[in-house]
Structure 1
């Protein structure tokens, strides 16, 4: 949840049905709109989501209730000290740009504070938009990979369909059957993984959903392995080779990635990186930033 420029608040006005927007062709790896821009969001992740008291959050907060640290200008009052104050979960969370999309596009810059009648609908739309933007992140990445040539047309159609879903009216977005759409997209993401990893011959490539909690994998050669949905919580991955490794949905909470090589890994997200531990020697894909807490 990076804090950026002050949100652009527009005065409330009567809501009306917006004409269907014309989609512009996306560049091969244009993911700028899929990166969080907190300065143009009305603090939606701090209001719309439920927080449960845990190691990640020191308080309970129901969905639709503003976080105690959210200020009137949509900024976080303890942004620089979130981890010290027990809100480490906030530093891990990534909306994939859904916050500014809902705030500035779906609701045309109308703040939920200024127009309370739209608040509930906005809070319902946000988590749906977040899931759609996550799928856009994966699909856009898949289209950058040279190995996906055989399914490029299918990936492009899936990305265009997903983008169109994000451009609907608030009611249409809230009613989107994301689970079914995700299943369709996942078929292509699985095929993408296979195409990327098929050139790396290994006896054991499939560790999907594996329980690797606290696993000792220091210096492990995991190149070309699929770790989709694997539990790597607190795993020791120092110096591990994770190139061309499928990491979609892998749980990296407190995993030690110091000195690990994740260049060329497939479907790694900023949220996963933020949840892990790393250092200056950790190699990341160019699309991801080195977390500030890594030092």
Structure 2
């Protein structure tokens, strides 16, 4: 009788184990759909957490081939989820959304990729400056081929359209600068709220080091982004043939550039020396050419 009881007990244990594995299999099979639903709802942290927990659970039941196969699919799901996070991260460059960024930051922290995400975000900002510049100028050019470079586009803008094109270019770039400025301010405020007292705890030390790294990265990013913006505007001005502009259009463009340099001083404290020197040089050349042209007209009139 005792052996029968032990045998039945063992059977129950086996059945429970099988049922537990079947339940795990069922839950793992629904992870992809659940993660997709969470991403639509912008629940990035919950999506990452679910994948990581599911991977951990699957790792303990590798003896089942079906679960081992699902574990491989979970890695694919994680990779696709990270790609989705990166795609959402890139939209921050054009319109900083505090709520979205907070969710992204929390998700990247769970992945242990906070610093990597900041590096990637800065690459997105550089791409945003380039892409926004092209989008702003190509609307004022006739036919644009895929091989056409930004400088070539600038050379194709007609003098009568140049001030409007420059204004559109500056507005596009201003939106990126504004987004980055809000990002820096958010981090400054966030750091003050979550300031960690000096401690000998290794975890806290690492956290402080990471925070300082990001702070320095953001500070350097202000100057770098302005230099990228300044380079695009300068290229437009150098390539668009300022000397051919009507006087009223030239004055209009100087006004736009003056506003841009004022924005830059607030943005990163830069005096825009490169742009200021270019404006002075071009203004002198334009006035000389303008004066020469008027004198020639006067000479023809008097003759």
* TM range, smaller chain: under 0.3
Q: Which has the larger radius of gyration?
A: 2
TM-score (ref. length: structure 1)? 0.28
Looking at secondary structure, tell me which structure has more helix per residue: 2
